[in-house]
Every structure is written in structure tokens, then in C-alpha cells.
Structure 1
Amino acid sequence: MTATRRSTRIAEKRKADVDEEKDVKAAAPKAKRAKKVPKEQTKKTTAASSADEHLEIGDEIPDMVLKDQDDNDVDLRKVAAENKIVVIFVYPKASTPGCTRQACGFRDNYEDLKEHAKVFGLSADNVTRQKNFQTKQSLPYDLLSDPNRELIGILGCKKTPQSGIIRSHFVFFNGKLKFQRIKVSPEVSVADGKKEVLELVKELK
């Protein structure tokens, strides 16, 4: 009688172990499926954030229209179609010391640059401030107003998502980004910008 009870307990234990093993195996695929969810979410997040990617060498000039200091529309794609070389230098704020040095540097070299390239200054300042800056410093090129930092963001010049701009410059050749210098001093921006334009001029000859 005791042996029968013992056999029954052993049989029940074995059955419980088998059932437990089945439960583990059955749960395993569910666990794998659960792990796939974050991956799918990551893919969606990556796709959603693709619009925030910065322009890279070889990319086309953004298809955007901005206002200049005279409140005129400036279509970047159209500008690129009409000019083989386009220079856009980015400055944090009009009429501040560093930005004035950068803008005046491009002004002082404009005679050499204008023969080969279309030059623009770009900041988040509104149209009125851009006009005042241009007039005060006798800047011979147009200043683009980007108050929402849309183009500035595409170029990779946002200091933080909320505010701030990184001093930079970009040179487009045949509508595509050829040179980019992000986080530079006013003097380096002017010197390298001019040098890069002249390098492209040699390629055209």
C-alpha cells in the first residue's frame, strides 16, 4: 500500500514536471515575440526622426524658400540652378561682435567671391534685424531669415533643440553640398569659405 502511494506521488511529480516543461516551451515563443516589439518601435522612431537628419556631403541643397532682408522670397533650389557655386554662412545673431566680424569678412572678400559664387548670410534673426544689419555694415549680399531654425536645423547648426546657433558655413556646387564647416571662428569661416570656392573654380576650368 505504501509502495502504491509512493508510485502515485512519483507519477504525479513527473507529470507536474512535464507540464511545467510544456508551459516553459509554450511561453518561450511569446517571450521572443515580446522582444520584437521594442525593435519595431525603434524602427518607427528611426523613420520618424529621419527628417531631423543633417545634410551630408553630396546631398542636394534643401528645397526651401526663405525671406531675405527685403522680405523677398528666396528659393534655394532655384538659386542653385542659376549659380554653380552657392555659399551660405551661418551666424548666431546679427550685430553681435563675432557675427559682425564674420559678415564683414565675407563683405571684404565679396569682390573675389561674387565672380564665382552666390553668397548668403543666414541666421534666425527676423527680416527687420537682417535689414538693419545689412545696412549698418554695408553688406553687399542677401541675408536669409530663418526664425524657426528650419534650414539651420537641416544644416546641423542648432546649438540645442530649443535655442542657439552654431557658427558655420556651407558651399554647394552644382546644387549639392561640397564643403561644410560647422563650429568655426569668424576668421576661419571667411578664409576657408573663400579657399573652397577658389578650389571649385579650378575644377571648372
Structure 2
Amino acid sequence: MTINSEDKAPDFCLFGIDESEVEKEFCLSELLKQEKQLILYFYPKDNTPGCTQESCDFRDNYARLTLKALVFGISRDSIASHIKFKEKHGLNFPLLSDPDHKVLELYGAWGEKKMYGKSIISTIRTTVLINKDGKIKKIWNNVKVKGHVDEVLSEL
């Protein structure tokens, strides 16, 4: 599926852990009621170098980001993996689990990519900014980690 700026963000519900590591269900329709923009960043795997750096960059800029938006990390990892990842790196925002990659597919963050010279089907590092009205404001595809959070901040 392809989504574009100005499209209505596809609704979803996923289980994850909140800021306090409490497991709960997160639904886009409920998140939008908080009257803030939403940053959904889709990443391949907990505790891998690039994903750790990206998550820590969101963590380190959390106070600046949350002036205007809520941050959510989404990967195929299990809740148990997310808890370990969150504890190890002191992450201060929710992590959602999408083991069947259904939401990844809805948001264009699942598909073919090159890894070590081979084509594989996997998570494509993607960030989506959703405005308060539930429309997609900006999509970053094939995200390069270095400097990415600064790009998100400047868009906010």
C-alpha cells in the first residue's frame, strides 16, 4: 500500500508498552484525541546499532519533540523485547509491537530492500508525521539515522 502526504492516516490498533512499561493497546483514533501531532517511526529491530541510535536520538530530543507531537516507535519485535530495549536505553516513549507487519504494510514501511547485497523483504526504516486532524503531514522513507530527528524537529 502507498500512502501520501495529505492522505488520511490509516487507523490501527497495536499492543505495546507505554512510558512506564505498562502493556496496553494503542489505537490511532484514541491517540488523535490528545490533540497533538503524532510521530510514528518504524524501525527494523530492537538493540541493533542503527535502531538503537535512532531511538536514542528520539529519546534525547523528547522534550523538544513533545512540545508539538507524541512519539511512538513501531517494530516487529515482541513486547518482551521492547521492555528490554526500553530499559537498556532509558527510552521515554511508547514502543508498539507489529509482529505480523500489518501496520508496517499500511504505512509503506514493509517491502523489498537490499541488505548486504541481497534483496530481502523486511522493515524499511520510515517515519510518518500525522497532524492533529489525522492526516499525513510528512513521510520520510528509507531514513538515514544521522540527523533524522533534526529533520523531524524542523518539520514540526
Short-chain TM bin: 0.7 to 0.9
Pairing partner for 1:188 from 131, 147, 154: 147
Greater RCO, CA 8 A, separation 6+: 2
Q: How does 1:6-21 map to 2 (within 5 A)?
A: none
Is 1:127 aligned to 2:79, yes or no?
Answer: yes
Query: What RMSD, in angstroms, separates the aligned Cα atoms of the two structures?
Result: 1.6
TM-score, structure 2 as length reference: 0.87
User: 1:184 corresponds to which letter in structure 2?
Assistant: V
The Cα of 1:84 is off from its aligned counterpart by 2.7
Equivalent in the alignment of 2:47: 95
Equivalent in the alignment of 2:122: 164
Distance across 1 between alignment mates of 2:103 and 2:92: 22
TM-score, structure 1 as length reference: 0.67
Higher-Rg member (1/2)? 1
Q: How does 1:1-205 map to 2 (within 5 A)?
A: 53-69=1-17, 70-160=22-112, 163-174=121-132, 175-197=134-156
Q: Is the 8 A contact 1:125 1:146 kept in 2?
A: yes
The Cα of 1:122 is off from its aligned counterpart by 0.8
Larger strand fraction of residues? 2
Percent identical pairs in the alignment equals 30
CA gap of 1:130–1:163, structure 2 versus 1, over 3 A, is farther
Aligned length: 145
Q: Which runs of 5+ in 1 are unaligned?
A: 1-52, 198-205
Q: What SS does structure 2 have at the residue aligned with 1:122?
A: strand
The Cα of 1:135 is off from its aligned counterpart by 0.9
Distance across 2 between alignment mates of 1:111 and 1:180: 22
CA gap of 1:163–1:131, structure 2 versus 1, over 3 A, is farther
